[in-house]
Structure formats: C-alpha cells, structure tokens
Amino acid sequence: MKKNHGKLTALLMTAALSFGLMACAAPGGTVQEAPGGQAQEEAAAETGTVYKVGICNYVDDASLNQIVDNIEGQLEKLGQENGVTFEISYDNCNADANVLNQIIANFIADEVDLMVGVATPVAMAMQSLTEGKDIPVVFAAVSDPEGAALVESNDAPGANLTGTSDFLDTNAVMNLIFANDPDAKKIGLLYDIGQDASTAPIEAAKAYLDDKGIGYVEHTGTNVDEISLAAQAMVSDGVDAVFTPTDNTVMTAELTIYETLANAGIPHYTGADSFALNGAFVGYGVDYANLGVETANMVKGILVDGNDPASTPVMTFDNGTATVNTETCEALGLDLETVKAAFEPYCLRIEEITTAESFE
C-alpha cells in the first residue's frame, strides 16, 4: 500500500524531552519504547538544535514516494547520529502548479531552514519563489539540472541550490531492447511532451534509432487517460517494443497500461525500477532508494555541516541495474533466463521484481 504522508510530519525527536522515554503505539494497541528514543532525547538535550525542512513531492507515484520515504528515513538516522532534530513538513502538489506555489508559500511563511523539491517542476518553482531569500533548496530526481537552468553546471551549481539527478543513459536502455530482440523493426516512444525529464532522453532515443535505421512512432499524453489511449495506439501501430524515460506522467499510468502492452506481446522498457514494480517489462536506471538517502545526506551537509549549496556538486548515479518484472516477462512469452543472459553484457546487475503498487 502507498504511504500516506500528512502535511506536517515531525520526524526524529519530538518535544517530549522532559517526559522520559519516547513511546509509540505498537500493533494491537500495546505501547513500546520507540527505537532510539532515549538516545534521541539525550542528544537533543545537549544541543537543542531544530532544523525545519519543507519537502514537496510532485505527484503520488512509486518512484517519487520511494525517494520521499528514504529522505525521511535517512534524516531520522542522521538526526540521531548528530544530536539534532529535523522537523519535516511534507506535502504533495499532485502536479497542480497553483497548489505547488501555495505549498512553497506556506514553507516560506513557516520559515523553514531548507526546502527539498522532488522532481523537476517542484525544483524549478522553488528556485523561482525563493529568489532573494536565504533559503537553500535541495532537489531530488531532476533528470537534467543544467538543461532546466537550475544550476550553472553540475560541478558548480552557482546558486543557493543543489541536489541529486536521475540522469538516464538512454543508449543503455536501447541496447537492452535490441539485445532481447535483434530483429525489432519499429519502436514506440511513449511519454508526456510536457515533462522536462523526457525531453533529452527522447531525443537521444531518436538519434540512436536513426543511426541504426530503425523506425519509430511517438504517442504522448498529459494524464492517465491520455497515456492509456497512447498505449492502445502503440498496439494498433504494431510496435515491437516501447520506450519510456523517467517520465512521471507515464509512471503514474503504468498500472493502467502494462497489461495492454503485455497482452499484445509488446515489452515496455523504462527509465526506473519503479515502472517495473508497476508492471513494465524492464526498468533500467537509478536506484531511487539510494537517491533519497543521498539527498538527505546533502540536507544534513548544508544545515549541520555548513556546506555551501552553490559549491556542492550535483550528485548523479550509476545507471547499471536492469530490473525485470518476472510476471510480465512470462505474460510476454519470454524465458527469464534467456532474457537475463541477453541483458548481462549491458548491465552491472539484473534484479527481479513482481508487480505491486508501491515499494515496501
């Protein structure tokens, strides 16, 4: 099940410093001491330092929720280790620009010490609305920070903003398509034309296919219904495979479309393991759990260690893991071991997964 975040989630140590050990309700109604509760209280008593962190997520999907979960978990751990409290305000704009702007305005009014923007549109809005204010921004899962004009360069951001990038090696995904099916003649490109994360990878995919003399068709959508129609159009077009980069709109629709493609014998190759979790044949790219952890480490580095965002390099990640949905593999009539053998020369490792709504 997906994790439901409240608008205000106070993580780590609470204000119960003078009331003894921290406790929480365990399943079944019993009461137990929260892990690390006494250590948290003792550390907070020594410093009394509280950092207010505002986190805004772009949309509710497996990829981005996984990032948020790992940011929160790592900040909890870092708070315990460093004797500080990270007080987190969390919200999700559900891809609504007006809601996004209001969330950021609320963070500013609450005088947060730092904002975390999950996905490119959130990072861009935070960059704009914090201009001239002394509020650092750490972004997460921005595919092309330089292309989005968030940073001057990944090595030297040059402003009060840095973060983590889920840059996708598109050619690596293309290699998997033809490793599995050397005779593929027509590839479908499925994406949201309004997603910044898709722009560069789609152009890279076209260049790759043009170089090989392989035909392709494009179908796009801006919401779940339109992506569903686009998937049906791919079937009608008779494509041999479909490619989608780290596109949040398609990610949100994956649970709706994966059976349409699989039942037609069309493998869906995508830019993250969360697509495979939601039914796509293959997800190749960034480990979003690790990306969330490293984003939290950046937050700690800026707030606790005094690191300057302007000189903190953007962190990119190795794109070497192919995640195969074994259920979809079977539905496509493919032999898993044969698929893995074909993929092996193009991956650092291959993971197996089955269809679910969210990571546990």
pLDDT (tens digit, 9 = 90+) per residue, 198-257?
A: 999 999 999 999 999 999 999 999 999 999 999 999 999 999 999 999 999 999 999 999
Q: Are residues 279 and 233 in the same domain?
A: yes
Asked whether residue 29 is assigned to any structural domain, the reply reads no
225 and 253 share one domain: yes
Q: Residue 351: pLDDT band by 50, 70, 90 thresholds? A: very high
Residue 1 within any structural domain of the chain: no
Q: 330 and 186, same structural domain?
A: yes
Please give the angle made by the CA atoms of 344, 350 and 352, to the nearest 5 degrees: 135
**Residue 106 Ramachandran class (φ > 0 left, ψ -120 to 50 alpha, else beta):** alpha
Q: In this model, does residue 23 exceed pLDDT 60?
A: no
pLDDT at 132 exceeding the cut of 50: yes
Cβ burial of 107 (10 Å; 0-12, 13-18, 19+) is buried
Q: Are residues 183 and 269 both part of a single domain? A: yes
d(CA 135, CA 199): 29
- For residue 89, is pLDDT > 90? yes
Residue with the two structure tokens 């035909």: 215
Residue 179 has pLDDT above 90, yes or no: yes
Comparing CA positions, the residue from 320, 290, 327, 296 lying closest to residue 116 is: 296
Distance CA 80, CA 131 (A): 32
pLDDT at 14 over 70: no
* Same domain membership, residue 152 and residue 119: yes
For residues 284 and 270, the answer to whether their CB atoms sit within 8 Å is yes
Say if residue 146 is in the same domain as residue 196: no
Half-sphere exposure of 294 (CA within 13 A, CB side): 20
Name the token pair of 131: 């201009």
Give the contacts of 242 (CB within 8 A, at least 6 positions apart).
187, 188, 189, 190, 231, 234, 261, 266, 267, 268, 269
Q: The CATH number of the domain where 116 resides is what?
A: 3.40.50.2300
Q: Are residues 207 and 230 located together in one domain of the fold?
A: yes
Within-domain flag for 341: yes
The pLDDT of 151-161, averaged and rounded, is 95
Residues 6+ apart with CB under 8 A from 265: 332, 333
Sequence-ordered alpha helix ranges (H) in 115-195: 120-129, 170-180
Residues β-bridged to residue 190:
219
Q: 265 with 253: CB under 8 angstroms?
A: no
Bridge partners (DSSP) of residue 55 are 90, 116
Q: So what's the pLDDT on residue 16? A: 36
24 versus 61: the higher-pLDDT residue is: 61
Q: Is residue 30 part of a domain?
A: no
**141 and 16, same domain (yes or no):** yes
Mean per-residue pLDDT for 308-314? 97
Which has the higher per-residue pLDDT, 318 or 28?
Answer: 318
Residues 72 and 151 in one domain: yes
**Distance of alpha carbon 336 from alpha carbon 342, whole angstroms:** 10
The pLDDT > 70 percentage for the chain reads: 87
pLDDT at 113 over 80: yes
User: What is the tally of structural domains in the chain?
Assistant: 2
- The residue range of the domain holding 306 is 8-24+35-167+288-311
Mean per-residue pLDDT for 97-126? 98
Instruction: Flag whether pLDDT at 43 surpasses 90.
Output: no
Tell me what pLDDT residue 119 has.
96
Whether the pLDDT of residue 39 is over 70: the answer is no
Question: Which amino acid is it at 205?
Answer: A
* pLDDT band, residue 47 (cuts 50/70/90): low
Does residue 136 belong to any structural domain of this protein? yes
Which residue's entry shows tokens 């219904």? 225
pLDDT digits (tens, 9 = 90+) for 261-302: 999 999 999 999 999 999 999 999 888 999 999 999 999 999
CA–CA gap between residue 276 and residue 255 (Å, rounded): 10
**233 in helix, strand or coil?**
helix
Residue 293 has a pLDDT of 98
The amino acid present at 27, given as its one-letter code, is P
d(CA 127, CA 150): 7
Give me the percent of the chain exceeding a pLDDT of 90. 82
Question: Is 0.75 surpassed by the pTM of this model?
Answer: yes
| pLDDT the model gives residue 349 | 92
For residues 69 and 203, membership in a common domain is answered with: no
What three-state secondary structure class fits 230?
A: helix
Let me know whether 330 and 192 are in one domain. yes
